[in-house]
Structure 1
Amino acid sequence: MATRITPATNRAASLELIQDFSLEMTGKDIPALAEAKGHIPPGTRINVTFLGNEDLEMRVAAAKAARDLGFVPVPHISARRLKSREQLEEFLGRLQEAGASEHVFVVGGDPATPVGPYEDSLEVIRSGILQQFGVREVGISGYPEDHPDIPKATLWRALEDKTSELTEQGLGAVILTQFAFDTDPVADWIDAVRAKGINAPIRVGTPGPAGVKRLLSFARRFGVGANAMIVKKYGFSLTNLMGDAGPDRFVNDLAAVLAERTHGSQPHSGGRVGLHFYTFGGLLATAEWARDFVSGQG
């Protein structure tokens, strides 16, 4: 039975949705994270990217910095960027030494051709190496608006295979989605995930506040829909690309749609639904936006 949404219940749903949000940083963002520390709740999960222009030292240093600043580091592992099993073991070993190996996010990665033995993230998970270095929970990708280079059926099969494999290995699973501008495809996708019996927590990828042109360039790069109808729902116009845009409307609308579908923050049909912010406009700007949104000053 659908829930009747009033302004008060919508505000409550929005606050539930943003509770325990996570953020993303690169290996170069240690100073930015330190600057934003006072605006980020202690214990917040900070995902640390695995980019081609970063090396092991940068990735480990960023994960350690997140931990030392009072947050929970979630280092990324890019399967197709790994040159060997030994490189994966070295990375995990260094993370374990830094106290930053309990939570990881395993993704296929950008290279069309693997540089080493791992074709995709499932192969890394199936290797059995993760548990050897203290990993307890693994983040995996979700694509509410599909992927420009991967068929939809393949994406669904991969999601089912990965969650099944993690359950078999006794590891926790968290689904982190690509960012989106439109709430309806996200909500439909969550319905479909739960209908398949996948109850892992879902963190919906959400663009932090950033310049409109920058947001659209990232959307095109990742194949995210950015037509006139969608960006209007997000709160900006394709005819006026100046200025910044924040995710206020997206967060409020998504919270309302989920509440109407009786998902809520702790849905009866599955695990929690929360938010993961891609910090295109910077960690400080995103942290300040989240603080103001929660306090009602946004």
Structure 2
Amino acid sequence: MAHPTPVSPKAAALVDGFSLEMTGKDVPGLEEARDTIPQGTKINVTFLGNEDLEMRVTAAKAVKDMGFVPVPHISARRLESEAQLEEFLARLQEVGATEHVFAVGGDPADPAGPYPDSLSVIRSGLLQKYGAREVSIAGYPEGHPDIADDVLWRHLDEKALALAQQGLDAVVLTQFAFDTDPVIAWIEAVRERGIDAQIRIGTPGPAGIKRLINFARRFGVGANAMIVKKYGFSLTNLMGTAGPDRFVTDLADRLAEPSTSPGTGGGHGDVKLHFYTFGGLLATSQWAREFVAAQSSGALR
């Protein structure tokens, strides 16, 4: 199916090499979408409160077996003990799913065990012990509803330093965004701090508008009328669906412009996209394939 609008080469290049997100319950959806996802794509596997160890490991194994790269989440505040973390990592290692992991604080207000944040998991040395080579850490271009900005920046600095000291590669993976202005400003601020890791900007794949807004409000992401209009939908029409076409195109244009911030060397560094699959893995992977094909097939004249 042809993409309905022309796609610039720089926008197609930004989408190429995307990563995806799935839950432990999404293995049937991954099976459905497998032929539309490029082999070697990174697929993050969440660590939710309503999932258990078996479900998480089974999902990571399915990702690996289908020819993709599993990136299991390690949710610090959900871990009840060091032994539980080691059990999880050992099981993941058995199925070849520990080279790439995502260390994140997690949602619970109070830690279930000894890890109050992802930094404490990284500093434990256990990720490296069980074969991690690359660790993703969280970034928040529009802030966090429960964490002050200065704390977020301090932790980002400390996590990047801790990973470098352990000889581990870092990826900064962001909460999803609707507005390119704070995203570009945040990328430039990251680079000014001397963090040159790959940044993956999170954005929703195609999904129902009402669902997108509910997720945005839950995570403190800006969802006012001006921002969502820039993204490509209206708060007065909540019945339709929306995709990231406008956001991706605008972000690619902005990334192609020289950075004016001191300390960035005029560039934004290595930036890719991470899709939150609120509308399903198949809908997102089909959108990405059609978006890239619209440029490579000569849609632009």
TM-score surpassing 0.5? yes
Matched positions, count:
288
Q: Secondary structure at the match of 2:176?
A: coil
Aligned twin of 1:293: 291
Q: Secondary structure at the match of 2:73?
A: strand
- Report the Cα distance in structure 2 between the residues aligned to 1:117 and 1:274, rounded to whole angstroms: 33
Indicate if the aligned counterparts of 1:179 and 1:207 stay in contact, CA closer than 8 A. Answer: yes
Indicate if the aligned counterparts of 1:48 and 1:74 stay in contact, CA closer than 8 A. Answer: yes
Give the TM-score normalised by structure 2.
0.93
- Report the Cα distance in structure 2 between the residues aligned to 1:144 and 1:13, rounded to whole angstroms: 22
Does residue 249 in structure 1 map to residue 246 in structure 2?
yes
Does residue 28 in structure 1 map to residue 32 in structure 2?
no
What letter corresponds to residue 149 of structure 2 in structure 1?
K
Indicate if the aligned counterparts of 1:139 and 1:173 stay in contact, CA closer than 8 A. Answer: yes
- Report the Cα distance in structure 2 between the residues aligned to 1:50 and 1:245, rounded to whole angstroms: 26
What letter corresponds to residue 286 of structure 2 in structure 1?
E
What letter corresponds to residue 64 of structure 1 in structure 2?
K
What letter corresponds to residue 10 of structure 2 in structure 1?
A
- Report the Cα distance in structure 2 between the residues aligned to 1:270 and 1:190, rounded to whole angstroms: 7
Does residue 192 in structure 1 map to residue 198 in structure 2?
no
Alignment of 1:1-298 (within 5 A): 11-261=8-258, 269=267, 271-296=269-294
- Report the Cα distance in structure 1 between the residues aligned to 2:123 and 2:229, rounded to whole angstroms: 42
- Report the Cα distance in structure 2 between the residues aligned to 1:289 and 1:109, rounded to whole angstroms: 29
Deviation at 1:12, TM superposition (A): 1.6
Structure 2's unaligned 5+ residue stretches are: none
Indicate if the aligned counterparts of 2:32 and 2:282 stay in contact, CA closer than 8 A. Answer: yes
Deviation at 1:134, TM superposition (A): 0.5
Deviation at 1:269, TM superposition (A): 4.4
CA displacement 1:248-289 (0-9 Å, x = unmatched): 0000001001111359xxx86464100000000000000110
Identical-pair percentage: 70
Indicate if the aligned counterparts of 1:13 and 1:256 stay in contact, CA closer than 8 A. Answer: yes
Alpha-carbon distance change, 25 to 127 in structure 1, aligned in 2, over 3 angstroms = same
Alpha-carbon distance change, 171 to 270 in structure 1, aligned in 2, over 3 angstroms = farther
- Report the Cα distance in structure 2 between the residues aligned to 1:293 and 1:152, rounded to whole angstroms: 34
What letter corresponds to residue 165 of structure 1 in structure 2?
A
CA displacement 1:84-105 (0-9 Å, x = unmatched): 0000000000000001110000
Q: Secondary structure at the match of 1:35?
A: helix
Indicate if the aligned counterparts of 2:258 and 2:266 stay in contact, CA closer than 8 A. Answer: no
- Report the Cα distance in structure 1 between the residues aligned to 2:83 and 2:102, rounded to whole angstroms: 19
Give the TM-score normalised by structure 1.
0.94
Structure 1's unaligned 5+ residue stretches are: 1-6
Q: Secondary structure at the match of 1:119?
A: coil
- Report the Cα distance in structure 1 between the residues aligned to 2:258 and 2:203, rounded to whole angstroms: 20
For the aligned residue pairs, the C-alpha RMSD in angstroms reads: 1.7
Deviation at 1:294, TM superposition (A): 0.7
- Report the Cα distance in structure 2 between the residues aligned to 1:260 and 1:100, rounded to whole angstroms: 37
- Report the Cα distance in structure 1 between the residues aligned to 2:194 and 2:132, rounded to whole angstroms: 24
Indicate if the aligned counterparts of 1:199 and 1:270 stay in contact, CA closer than 8 A. Answer: no
